[in-house]
Amino acid sequence: MPTIDIRKLSAEQLKNAMVTMGEKPFRAKQVHEWLWKRSAMSFEEMTNLSKELRVKLESEFMIRPMVEDVIQKSKDGTIKIRYQLHDGNMIEGVLIPVEGRVTACVSSQVGCSLSCKFCATGFMGRKRNLDPAEIYDQIVLLNRRSLENYDMPLTNVVFMGMGEPLLNYANVMQGIDYVVSPDGLNMSAKRITVSTAGIAKMIVKLGDDGVKFNLALSLHAANDNKRNTIMAINETNNLNALVQALNYFYDKTGGRITFEYILFDKFNDSRTDAEELVKLCRKVPGAKVNIIEYNNVQDVPYTKTNETRRDEFIHYLESNDVVANVRLSRGKDIDAACGQLANKA
């Protein structure tokens, strides 16, 4: 039985493998194209290779695609899919159709280690990181579902599913590279947003690496005391450190930065909270705010704010020249909305 996952080989390693097998080096380019441009899930699909070479590849290597396990459709058109990985672990991805766009919400880890007090995924703990091929597969499979269900390809990808992307930095960056590369899916990096709970040194690394995608910070409170209460990561990555890192990121990349802000009833939805958020936004060039409707999670004491307080909060932001968009929850009835992913299908 082959034990080497061919999708773990670099382009150079793949070329060396072809030569070792007695093949011409250009065969490596053909195989690479099948893996990352045409998204082949088996060697049998590689029809411009000889039958002999395909048999040889199958005897030496394996491809381990993730597979759909459970598919749930919401009454609002949202689709949540649970995927089974080669080792039996499960992750979830979500398709969100809105006004001529389809956004894929993808995962970066099996579970999450950050244990934010309002998020169901955090209760799972972190089981392991996803590898680049698993990140790539999610986007490929969600795109196929988008074409099948909405008759259009993905327009956007957000890393807002299970896990903290910046704690799986190398694999997430490589997975995104396969998606945006002309030798891969050739998707525009500007259509991708990576969301982080806030790890300052890794935000700086994003700047140093000159990434082209957008960055979102899960903020949810604009002072350290409140943020410490709901997000333990803030105790080692406080708001001052994050502002410095975000400014560094912006200076290096010019990339768009969004603050994600869930409004919790009588916790972070007062005029004082809005004032603090405006002050924070003014410290980060071009920062905008996504106001997110909270989705109830079992055994969590927080509830969503009412519409009156939400509208007053947004009005204050806008009257102080802060761009604020309301992101209404989709897929709540199938536990597919923000903070609800926990493999409960």
- 189 and 98 assigned to the same domain: yes
State residue 339's pLDDT score.
Answer: 47
Beta bridge partners of 288: 258
Rounded Cα distance between 331 and 212, Å, is 29
Q: Is the dihedral of CA 245, 251, 255, 259 positive or negative?
A: positive
Domain-located, residue 237: yes
Looking up residue 16, the CATH number of its domain turns out to be 1.10.150.530
**Residue 117: per-residue pLDDT:** 84
Identify whether the C-beta of residue 168 lies closer than 8 Å to the C-beta of residue 107. no
Cβ atoms of 85 and 306 within 8 Å: the answer is: no
What is the residue type of 149?
N
Domain identity same for 300 and 279 = yes
The answer to whether residue 123 is domain-embedded is: yes
Backbone angles phi, psi at 38, to 5 degrees: -100, -5
For residue 230, the Cα-to-chain-centroid distance in whole angstroms is 21
| Separation between Cα atoms, residue 122 and residue 341, nearest integer Å | 9
Selected catalytic residue, list 92, 134, 164, 260: 92
pLDDT at 289: 97
Q: What angle do CA 333, 336, 340 make, to 5 degrees?
A: 100
**Contact partners, residue 214, CB within 8 Å, separation at least 6:** 190, 192, 193, 194, 255, 256, 257, 258
Query: What is residue 331's predicted lDDT score, i.e. its pLDDT?
Result: 53
From the candidates 105, 116, 119, 338, give the one annotated as an active-site residue.
338
Distance (Å, whole) CA 239 – CA 276: 12
What pLDDT is recorded for position 293? 86
Q: Which DSSP state fits 130?
A: P
Q: Is residue 341 part of a domain?
A: no
> 82 with 92: CB under 8 angstroms?
yes
Instruction: Quote the radius of gyration of the chain (alpha carbons, Å).
Output: 21
| In-domain check, residue 339 | no
Active site includes 338? Answer: yes
> What's residue 9's pLDDT?
96
Strand order in the sheet with 257-262: 67-73, 79-84, 90-98, 101-105, 156-159, 192-196, 214-218, 257-262, 288-292, 324-327
Is the residue at 8 inside a domain? yes
pLDDT in tens, 236-245: 999 999 999 9
Residue 299: its pLDDT value, please?
Answer: 73
The predicted structure's pLDDT at residue 116: 86
Question: Residues 47, 186: one domain?
Answer: no
Model confidence pLDDT, tens digit, residues 65-94? 999 999 999 888 899 999 999 999 999 999
Domain boundary among 36, 62, 88: 62
Q: What is the pLDDT of residue 341?
A: 47
The CA-CA-CA angle for residues 291, 271, 273, to 5°, reads: 60
Q: Are residues 274 and 303 both part of a single domain?
A: yes
Q: Which domain holds residue 296?
A: 67-334
Q: Which positions of the chain have pLDDT values less than 70?
A: 122, 328-345
Q: How far apart are CA 121 and CA 102, in angstroms?
A: 23
Concerning whether 92 is annotated as a catalytic residue, the answer is yes
Facing residues of 196 across strands?
Answer: 217
